[in-house]
């Protein structure tokens, strides 16, 4: 779902999932409006088939986490209540409700700040070749899904839509943003990861890894931005299903990935063809998984 255009707002661009707008508030300060669609991506493609309510789940879960982490790091949310949005957006209140956030405009830092506490994904692939993740040496003998001795900071260079983020070493972050800011990004990322991991574990969920985006205010303050700790940006695993040695069950779009790579889809991820539409069953199971993650983490019933 793309809500383009919005009268009274300037459309700045589209990400895989979100639409971004600029809109002045009542004092004339430019704000950003982030609107989460129901689009879903896999293998660097935005799929034809949306997942109903996905944008609302992502937005409501991000807002819940922003509240929980407020003592650790400021965030960019001004308000998520359309009644408090600039008057120019009033006619769009119904379509924006539950899936949008009015946010500060920040100087965004072009580094994906990734924290890993378990071995999976691109980290697992690198480890199998070199025994490292983003150049960080790890003990021998770790398996798919193994818990790491301690969480590690494994940043990535943010890619354009349709391209892979590229893992980079800490030295490259220093080159891009300076030593002081790089150290601050690393410490914030690992601190937030540990705090969120403890909260998730209390609810029977392992936070295997996650990625954060930060921006800077004019005074240099680092601010947590974009979405945070959702199934789109994090690997969530049920504690009772965790068993290193193979891929773990997860609260994300694994149903979509599995179907796309199965004979049933008839699609080759290495081809230059777009993925086919998703079957109704895969859509429903994926929606249920996102909602289950939201409800287990927050303790709330998704409305």
**What residue spans define the domains of the chain?**
10-105, 108-241
Instruction: Output the six-digit token pair for 91.
Output: 């006619």
pLDDT at 299: 96
pLDDT at 297: 97
- Domain covering 10-105, topology: Phosphorylase Kinase; domain 1 (3.30.200)
| CATH homologous superfamily, domain 108-241 | ATP-grasp fold, B domain (3.30.470.20)
- Residues 205 and 249: beta-carbon distance below 8 Å: no
Three-state SS for 148?
A: strand
pTM (two decimals): 0.92
Question: Which run of H or of E encompasses 184?
Answer: helix 179-202
pLDDT at 219: 96
**Mean pLDDT in order along the chain per 10 residues (303 residues):** 72 93 92 96 91 97 98 97 95 95 96 96 93 94 97 86 72 95 98 98 97 97 96 94 94 88 92 93 95 96 91
Cα separation, 220 vs 38, whole angstroms: 34
Q: What angle do CA 131, 134, 136 make, to 5 degrees?
A: 55
pLDDT at 254: 82
């Amino acid at each position: 779902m793309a809500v383009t255009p919005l009268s009274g707002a300037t459309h700045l661009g589209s990400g895989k999932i979100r639409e971004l707008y600029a809109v002045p508030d009542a004092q004339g300060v430019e704000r950003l409006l982030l609107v989460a669609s129901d689009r879903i991506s896999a293998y660097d493609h935005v799929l034809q088939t949306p997942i109903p309510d996905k944008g609302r789940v992502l937005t409501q879960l991000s807002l819940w986490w922003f509240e929980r982490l407020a003592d650790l790091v400021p965030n960019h949310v001004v308000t998520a209540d359309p009644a408090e949005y600039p008057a120019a957006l009033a006619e769009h209140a119904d379509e924006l409700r539950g899936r949008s956030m009015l946010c500060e405009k920040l100087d965004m830092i072009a580094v994906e700040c990734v924290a890993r506490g378990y071995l999976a994904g691109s980290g697992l692939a690198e480890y199998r070749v070199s025994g490292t993740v983003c150049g960080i040496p790890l003990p021998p003998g770790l398996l798919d899904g193994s818990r790491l001795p301690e969480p590690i900071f494994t940043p990535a260079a943010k890619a354009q839509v349709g391209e892979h983020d590229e893992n980079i070493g800490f030295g490259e972050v220093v080159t891009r943003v300076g030593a002081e800011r790089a150290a601050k990004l690393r410490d914030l990322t690992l601190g937030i990861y540990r705090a969120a991991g403890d909260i998730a574990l209390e609810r029977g969920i392992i936070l295997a890894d996650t990625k954060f985006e930060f921006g800077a205010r004019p005074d240099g303050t680092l601010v947590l931005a974009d979405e945070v700790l959702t199934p789109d940006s994090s690997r969530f695993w049920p504690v009772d299903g965790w068993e290193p040695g193979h891929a773990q069950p997860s609260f994300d779009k694994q149903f979509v990935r599995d179907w796309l790579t199965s004979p049933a889809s008839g699609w080759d991820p290495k081809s230059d063809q777009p993925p086919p539409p998703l079957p109704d069953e895969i859509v429903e199971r994926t929606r249920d998984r996102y909602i289950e993650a939201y409800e287990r983490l927050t303790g709330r019933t998704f409305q």
